[in-house]
């Protein structure tokens, strides 16, 4: 995998929104990795391609109306977003998984827009 | 620890979180199949952290296979899910614990350490149980050997006691052996349980041990015994019983006492020493009676020749219901081949067989199966009269 030049703003601790969820909860992530900020670029370099891949595959399953695969992918995204501290992305993934579980793929497709938006926000916050 | 997750970042984070635990090395697998392959290769995996949604082989199947395999069943599996239905489902499949993402490092460490500690303790208990089991097997085997040795010693004593009696007689050591084998075989056919058959095999050599107490002038007297001498000869049963009395916990000696006392009792009550009849005679006594008479009829002695088998059978048949327990006799004759084989296997030397022409010098103390018109000789075991008409039968059956 090609390494990407990633960095996290020095002063950034959290990017809370009105609902209390962070676009990127950096402090929580640091807690999980023993406070080692030097590892964040490596973690992000793993996270971003994973999300990119999931998004491409999600487009495919929505087009193919494959709710089972849609649920699995949104489940995976939920976990990986939670681990990196992308709380808002995680929250959208929870909704996506629920829609997929109920086979509501139209709502699922609509929610995908929010996911992409949140992803863009996340990337902007971590300063790609 | 084996971390199974298709997302590299998730595996990496697990590794980072457990970085401080010097005792735990993290191995990674991208899916269930890879995890199973690693488990096959490595014997040292102490815990599995298992994601559920994975390509190739998902966590459910991997969990099922791990818990369905005797080799891996005891490895604790922590399933990565927060969904209640998945928690219930995976616990039912044998999962030991569950966790949700995002991982809490402290929680992860504690859960992993707890499960690993439990596994190690379990292994220790299993090891101790195995060691204890081995020790029990070893001790039991030693006890069994000691018991076997004790039984052999008891048998040896009975055989040598029997021989001691036969030494004073014309019987051979092989007679003892034949009685032992014939009695055991008949006991088997009569349906006695294996332990009883074995006891009788070892006890029957004692049937004539009481001869030790019979004076030489009677025991070794050539020719007929007068009624007084015959009464004395009969005492070998009682003497044998006395020698073997108070056997306590020695089952072979105890059975030997019964055999010694009752092997001249007859089915119709005309035997001695107590004139017991029918099933009032212990089955051991009834069996040895059949074996002893058969061996006597078909063996040569210095004072007589062996009867041909057909003649011996004829004589025995005439004693059915009077002399012998009819059921035992039927069993014996129905399986005659078996007994003839035993007789052949342990037959006396040719020297003994060819000395049959010394019939005039009937010098022994043998129990006699005798002609009706020749009563009172030797031990006086008397078969019906027709058997011996004109045969000059004076048959020893000791």
CATH for A106: 1.20.120.160
In a domain, A75, yes or no: yes
In a domain, A8, yes or no: no
Cross-chain Cβ contact B9/A78 below 8 Å: no
CATH of domain B168-396: 1.10.3210.10
Tokens, residue B356:
């049959």
Closest residue to B16, CB basis, from A33, A50, A78: A33
pLDDT of residue A19: 55
For chain B, residues with pLDDT lower than 70 are 22, 82, 168-173, 302-303, 349-398
In a domain, A15, yes or no: no
Q: Which of A11-25, A30-44, B220-234 has the lowest mean pLDDT?
A: A11-25
With a CB cutoff of 8 Å and minimum separation 6, the contacts of A114 are A92
Q: What residues does each domain of chain B span?
A: 2-124, 168-396
Closest residue to B16, CB basis, from A28, A34, A84: A34
pLDDT of residue A10: 53
Cross-chain Cβ contact B102/A85 below 8 Å: yes
B51 in A contact zone (CB under 8 Å): yes
Q: What is the DSSP letter of B209?
A: G
Sign, Cα dihedral of B292, B295, B298, B300: negative
In a domain, A12, yes or no: no
pLDDT of residue B359: 33
Burial class (CB in 10 A: 0-12, 13-18, 19+), B392: exposed
Helix H or strand E segment including A45: helix A40-63
Cβ atoms < 10 Å from Cβ of B210: 23
CATH of domain B2-124: 3.40.50.2300
In a domain, A14, yes or no: no
Q: Do the bridges between strand B368-370 and strand B97-99 make them parallel or antiparallel, or are there none, so unpaired?
A: unpaired
With a CB cutoff of 8 Å and minimum separation 6, the contacts of A35 are none
Mean pLDDT computed over every residue of chain A: 83
Total count of residues recorded for chain A = 128
Nearest 5°: phi and psi at B372?
-60, -30
Report angle CA B223, B228, B231 to the nearest 5 degrees: 95
What b/e string do you get for B75-113 counting C-beta neighbours within 10 Å, with b at 16 or more?
bbbbbbbeeeebbebbeebebbbbbbbbbbbeebbebbe
Cross-chain Cβ contact A75/B53 below 8 Å: yes
Report the predicted TM-score, pTM, of the whole model to 2 decimal places: 0.51
Name the domain count of chain A.
1
Domain with A121, as residue range(s), is 26-125
Q: How far apart are CA B200 and CA B252, in angstroms?
A: 7
pLDDT of residue B389: 35
Q: Alpha helices of chain B — where are they, by DSSP H? A: 8-17, 32-41, 59-67, 84-92, 105-167, 173-189, 194-203, 216-219, 227-243, 251-262, 283-297, 309-318, 326-334, 336-345, 350-353
In a domain, A16, yes or no: no
pLDDT of residue B367: 35
Closest residue to B19, CB basis, from A34, A72, A79: A34
Residue with tokens 């009550």: B269
pLDDT of residue A4: 41
């Amino acid at each position: 995998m090609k390494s990407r030049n990633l960095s996290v703003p020095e002063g950034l601790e959290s990017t809370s929104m009105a609902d209390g969820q962070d676009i990127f909860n950096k402090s929580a992530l640091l807690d999980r990795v023993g406070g080692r900020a030097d590892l964040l670029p490596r973690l992000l370099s793993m996270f971003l391609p994973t999300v990119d891949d999931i998004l491409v595959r999600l487009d495919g399953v929505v087009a193919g109306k494959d709710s089972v695969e849609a649920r699995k992918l949104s489940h995976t995204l939920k976990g990986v977003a939670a681990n990196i501290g992308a709380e808002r992305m995680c929250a959208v993934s929870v909704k996506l998984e629920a829609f997929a579980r109920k086979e509501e793929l139209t709502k699922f497709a609509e929610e995908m827009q929010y996911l992409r938006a949140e992803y863009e926000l996340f990337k902007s916050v971590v300063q790609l | 620890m084996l971390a199974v997750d298709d997302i590299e970042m998730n595996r990496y984070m697990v590794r980072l979180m457990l970085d401080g635990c010097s005792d735990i090395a993290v191995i990674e697998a991208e899916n269930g199949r890879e995890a199973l392959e690693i488990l096959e290769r490595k014997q040292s995996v102490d815990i599995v952290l298992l994601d559920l949604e994975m390509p190739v082989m998902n966590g459910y199947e991997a969990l099922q296979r791990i818990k369905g395999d005797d080799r891996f069943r005891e490895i604790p599996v922590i399933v990565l899910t927060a969904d209640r239905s998945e928690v219930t489902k995976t616990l039912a499949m044998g999962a030991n614990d569950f966790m949700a993402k995002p991982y809490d490092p402290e929680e992860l460490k504690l859960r992993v350490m707890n499960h690993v500690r439990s596994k190690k303790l379990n292994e220790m208990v299993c090891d101790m149980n195995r060691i204890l089991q081995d020790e029990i097997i070893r001790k039991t085997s030693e006890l069994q050997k000691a018991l076997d040795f004790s039984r052999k010693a008891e048998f040896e004593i009975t055989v040598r006691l029997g021989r001691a009696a036969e030494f004073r007689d014309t019987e051979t050591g092989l007679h003892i052996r034949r009685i032992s084998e014939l009695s055991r075989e008949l006991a088997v056919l009569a349906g006695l349980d294996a332990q009883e058959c074995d006891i009788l095999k070892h006890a029957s050599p004692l049937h004539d041990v009481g001869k030790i107490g019979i004076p030489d002038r009677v025991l070794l007297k050539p020719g007929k015994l007068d009624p007084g001498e015959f009464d004395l000869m009969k005492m070998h049963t009682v003497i044998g019983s006395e020698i073997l009395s108070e056997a306590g916990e020695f089952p072979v000696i105890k059975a030997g006492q019964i055999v010694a006392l009752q092997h001249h009792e007859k089915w119709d009550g005309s035997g001695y020493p107590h004139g017991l009849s029918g099933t009032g005679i212990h089955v051991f006594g009834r069996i040895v009676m059949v074996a002893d008479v058969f061996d006597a009829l078909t063996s040569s002695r210095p004072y007589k020749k062996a009867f041909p088998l057909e003649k011996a059978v004829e004589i025995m048949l005439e004693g059915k219901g009077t002399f012998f327990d009819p059921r035992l006799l039927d069993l014996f004759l129905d399986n005659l081949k078996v007994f003839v084989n035993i007789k052949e296997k342990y037959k006396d030397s040719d020297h003994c067989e060819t000395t049959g022409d010394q019939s005039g010098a009937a010098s022994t103390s043998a129990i006699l199966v005798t002609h009706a018109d020749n009563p009172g000789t030797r031990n006086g075991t008397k078969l019906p009269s027709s058997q011996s008409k004109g045969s000059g039968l004076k048959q020893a059956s000791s």
